Amino acid sequence: MLVLVAAAVGGLVIGPTPIGFSRVVGDVLSHVGLGRSTLTPLQSVIVWQLRAPRMVLGLLAGTMLAVAGGTYQGVFRNPLADPYLLGVAAGAGLGATIAIADVGGGLSTPSWTPLLAFAGALVAVAVTWAIGGRGLRTSTSSLILAGVAVASLFTSAQTFLQQQASVDSLARVYIWLLGSLASASWSSVTLVLPYVVICTLICLVAARALDVMSVGEDESRSLGLAVGKVRLLVVAAASLGTAAVVSAVGLIGFVGIVVPHVVRLLVGTSYRRILPISVIAGAAFLVIADTIARTVMAPSELPLGVVTALVGAPVFVFILSLRGRVTM
Amino acid sequence: MKHSLRFVLALTLSALAIPLTTLSASGATTKPSCVVSLSPTATETLFAIGAGSQVQAVDKDSNFPKKGLPSTRIDALNPSVESIIGVCKSTPTHPSKKPDVVIISYNANSIQQKLSAVGIKVINDSAPATLGGAYAQINQLGRLSGHAASARHLVANLKKTIAKDIASVPAHPNQNVSTYYELDPTFYSLTSSTFVGSLLKSLGATNIADAQATSADGGYPQLTSEYIVSASPTLIFLADTICCAASAASVAQRPGFSTISAVAHGHVIGLSDDVASRWGPRLGLLMNQLTSAVKAVLADTKVWNG
């Protein structure tokens, strides 16, 4: 929890424009009636209109990706499962490409990109479920295979559109695919917040069921668990939340697969511990990664997905080497 | 006597040499009938100097002039030698099917080397860094297409227009017109070392991107919203009005941007993406727009009186 608070404060304090730590903290406290702010109007704009929504969106995105990743790993009992398993990334990428390349015309306004990315992500998951599912009796392996097929299909369609697009569109699609919190605003936070809150809560409530499912589907059914319904519910919640996040920040990889594993290595294999801790760990991780991304090569910003991979992978390998093999 | 004869002979030979020299200076006596332009700027220039009928294929981004462009389109990002070779219509006077010259602005797929290997002349007219470079390219296209005089005339007109614009901006030693030139909504900009940047510099404007430039960005750094808000430029140019629907209204809605001087005082100028990114015959139009904007800022007392 301390790490989360430190990450959040760091997200407000650290940036290209030097604003003292004490002044930022003083301004935060003044908002809750403790003391007076000493920030200039410009500094206040930078902190509250630029850095704060970026930090909050980072917290929300990190939370959702980590919880969704952990949930998927529990549902599919697969350590390599991540939030993009059922085609969310490919669908969102296709939707964003359609918007940015202005396919068909009339889509050049930036507001179309998150909308079409969201729609694309949901369509991809729906197609995956339609192909790989047999209603509530669908098996995890068929879903995973369907997800791979759908992802390949959507990615190839995206590649085709990119090839037809202009150089400028190509560059903007590439930047979107790398993922970024740079375009965060309070309106994007407001849009994403209800999805993250509701979907995370659903996943957290389903944690006990995920623990039961870890012993196997047949065994779970024999214990009275409605495996099909639970799977449908958590996959829907995790996918919906991930789609909302991806539409706002692009494709940020690594968070959803590594954070739950790191948490698992530290606190054990019960999802009643993994998922709540992943809320905090994922949020902190992404905000710290974003702070690194926007400062380490200032004035340029590194793509956020590069930082999450560069930072997360060695940490994961280190912890894995200390704790042995990954157990689900 | 002998000296006189030599003198007359020299004069006679000089007189005979003049037409030969003139012919040599004007380039090829036969105009190329198959020109392929994979550069939107070169396309505009060729049509402006009267060589439009010689252009038999253009790239997908060539969209000006609005009428008269050939229907054959080549993908400049992924060109193939075979598709370029086959575009030309053979004529009785020009039976060869190979293009006479291909103009590119970006050497995708090493197309320059591949076309040269099959004996096709390739001209790589990438974006110049200065006005002089732009004029040189226009003259070069004039010589290549057999319209050298038209090209020189175009260049002379552009020089006159631009010089007039520069002279019309009053001296402003105590007023810093700081500019932010936006190339796309992810805050890619350009510095004074670029072509358009040099135009702004000639008008006495400063560029907020200059301080953020690194050697790796080639004059096109990506800024951050925080930096732009902090710098609070007095003038913003949007070169992404078509691709990305950027406008003064959309810029004002970005977090923190309403506090920027240019936004607060209504000096956010939308430019046509095409005009703003090409260095051909519409340079004069671009310069007019830049000049008008700078003069409007200088004349706005609200900007300078706080």
Q: What is the pLDDT of residue B94?
A: 61
Q: How confident is the model at residue A228 (pLDDT cuts 50, 70, 90)?
A: confident
Q: What is the mean pLDDT of residues A157-185?
A: 83
Q: Which chain A residues are within 8 Å of B186, Cβ to Cβ?
A: 172, 175, 182-183
Output the pTM of the full model. Answer: 0.80
| 3-state SS class at A239 | helix
Q: What is the pLDDT of residue B80?
A: 78
Q: What is the mean pLDDT of residues A236-263?
A: 91
Does B91 score more than 70 pLDDT? Answer: no
Q: What is the chain A residue with the closest CA to B211?
A: A299
Residue B43 in any domain: the answer is yes
User: Residue B267 and residue B269: Cα distance in Å, rounded?
Assistant: 6
Of the listed ranges A71-85, A148-162, A294-308, the least confidently predicted one is A294-308
Residues B208 and B261 in one domain: yes
Residues B176 and B113 in one domain: no
Q: How confident is the model at residue B23 (pLDDT cuts 50, 70, 90)?
A: very low
Among the partner residues A42, A171, A301, nearest to B230 by beta-carbon distance: A42
Q: What is the mean pLDDT of residues A218-233?
A: 83
Q: What is the pLDDT of residues A95-136, one digit of tens each?
A: 999 988 877 666 767 778 889 999 999 999 999 988 887 665
Residue B263 in any domain: the answer is yes
Of the listed ranges A28-37, A274-283, B187-196, B278-287, the least confidently predicted one is A28-37
Q: How confident is the model at residue A327 (pLDDT cuts 50, 70, 90)?
A: low
Of the listed ranges A8-12, A160-164, B1-5, B151-155, the least confidently predicted one is B1-5
Residue B80 in any domain: the answer is yes
Residues B87 and B180 in one domain: no
Neighbours of B186 (CB within 10 A): 21
Q: What is the pLDDT of residue B4?
A: 44
Percent of chain B with pLDDT over 70: 88
Q: What is the pLDDT of residue B75?
A: 82
Q: Which chain A residues are within 8 Å of B255, Cβ to Cβ?
A: 49-50, 53, 184-186
Q: What is the pLDDT of residue B39?
A: 94
Residue B14 in any domain: the answer is no
Q: What is the chain B residue with the closest CA to A164?
A: B75
Percent of chain A with pLDDT over 70: 93
Q: What is the DSSP string of chain B?
A: -HHHHHHHHHHHHHHHHHHHHHHHHT--SS--S-EEEE-HHHHHHHHHTT-GGGEEEEETT---SSSS--S-EE-TTS--HHHHHTTPPP-SS----S-SEEEESS-GGGHHHHHHHTT-EEEE-PPPSSHHHHHHHHHHHHHHHT-HHHHHHHHHHHHHHHHHHHHHSPP-TT---EEEEESSTT-B---TTSHHHHHHHHTT-EEGGGGG--GGGTT--B--HHHHHHH--SEEEES-TTTS---HHHHHTSTTGGGSHHHHTT-EEE--HHHHH--STTHHHHHHHHHHHHHHHHH-HHHH--
Does B21 score more than 50 pLDDT? Answer: no
User: Residue A83 and residue B174: Cα distance in Å, rounded?
Assistant: 57
User: Residue B89 and residue A243: Cα distance in Å, rounded?
Assistant: 52
Residue that is last in its domain, among B97, B126, B155: B126
Residue B148 in any domain: the answer is no
Among the partner residues A50, A167, A168, nearest to B229 by beta-carbon distance: A50
User: Residue B293 and residue B235: Cα distance in Å, rounded?
Assistant: 8
Q: What is the DSSP string of A164-224?
A: HS-HHHHHHHHHHHH--STT--HHHHHHHHHHHHHHHHHHHHTHHHHHHHTT-HHHHHHTT
How many contacts (CB atoms, under 8 Å) link A and B?
Answer: 84
Does A141 score more than 60 pLDDT? Answer: yes
Q: Which chain B residues are within 8 Å of A17, Cβ to Cβ?
A: 226-227, 230
Residue B220 in any domain: the answer is yes
Residues B242 and B299 in one domain: yes
Q: What is the pLDDT of residue B1?
A: 43
Among the partner residues B184, B212, B226, nearest to A168 by beta-carbon distance: B184
Q: What is the chain B residue with the closest CA to A48?
A: B256
Mutate to test the interface with B, among A43, A183, A189 (most CBs of B within 10 A): A183
Stated as kind and residue range, the H or E segment containing A295 is helix A271-295
Q: What is the mean pLDDT of residues B135-152?
A: 96
Residue B134 in any domain: the answer is no
Residues B173 and B297 in one domain: yes
A299 prior amide bond cis, ω within 30: yes
Does A328 score more than 70 pLDDT? Answer: no
Q: What is the mean pLDDT of chain A?
A: 86
Residues B179 and B235 in one domain: yes
| Residues B224, A49: C-beta atoms closer than 8 Å | no
Q: Which chain B residues are within 8 Å of A108, Cβ to Cβ?
A: 242-245
Domain span at B44: 35-126
More confident residue, B13 or B287: B287
Q: How confident is the model at residue B25 (pLDDT cuts 50, 70, 90)?
A: very low
Does B101 score more than 90 pLDDT? Answer: yes
* A169 contacts chain B (CB < 8 A): yes
* A46 contacts chain B (CB < 8 A): yes
* A168 contacts chain B (CB < 8 A): yes
Closest chain B C-alpha to A317 CA, distance in angstroms: 32
Mutate to test the interface with B, among A12, A172, A189, A294 (most CBs of B within 10 A): A172
* A106 contacts chain B (CB < 8 A): no
Q: What is the pLDDT of residue A176?
A: 85
Q: Edge-to-edge strands of the sheet including B101-104?
A: B73-74, B55-59, B35-38, B101-104, B121-124
Q: Tokens 């396919």 identify what position?
A: A103
Does B30 score more than 80 pLDDT? Answer: no
| Residues B186, A172: C-beta atoms closer than 8 Å | yes
Of the listed ranges B1-5, B113-117, B288-292, the least confidently predicted one is B1-5
* A40 contacts chain B (CB < 8 A): no
| 3-state SS class at A34 | coil
Sign of CA dihedral A248, A254, A260, A263: negative
Q: What is the mean pLDDT of residues A163-180?
A: 80
Q: Which chain A residues are within 8 Å of B222, Cβ to Cβ?
A: 300-301
User: Residue A69 and residue B146: Cα distance in Å, rounded?
Assistant: 65
Q: What is the pLDDT of residue B228?
A: 95
Give how many domains chain B has, as a whole number.
Answer: 2
Q: What is the pLDDT of residue B162?
A: 94
Q: What is the pLDDT of residues B260-274, one digit of tens each?
A: 999 999 999 999 988
Residues B297 and B215 in one domain: yes
Say which CATH number the domain at B211 has. 3.40.50.1980
Residues of B near A (Cβ–Cβ under 8 Å) read 60-61, 77-78, 106, 184-187, 212, 214, 217, 221-227, 229-230, 232, 242-245, 250, 254-256, 259, 273
Closest chain B C-alpha to A288 CA, distance in angstroms: 18
Domains of chain A, first to last: 2-323 (1.10.3470.10)
Residue that is last in its domain, among B93, B126, B159: B126
Residue B19 in any domain: the answer is no
User: Residue A99 and residue A120: Cα distance in Å, rounded?
Assistant: 11
Q: What is the pLDDT of residue A30?
A: 85
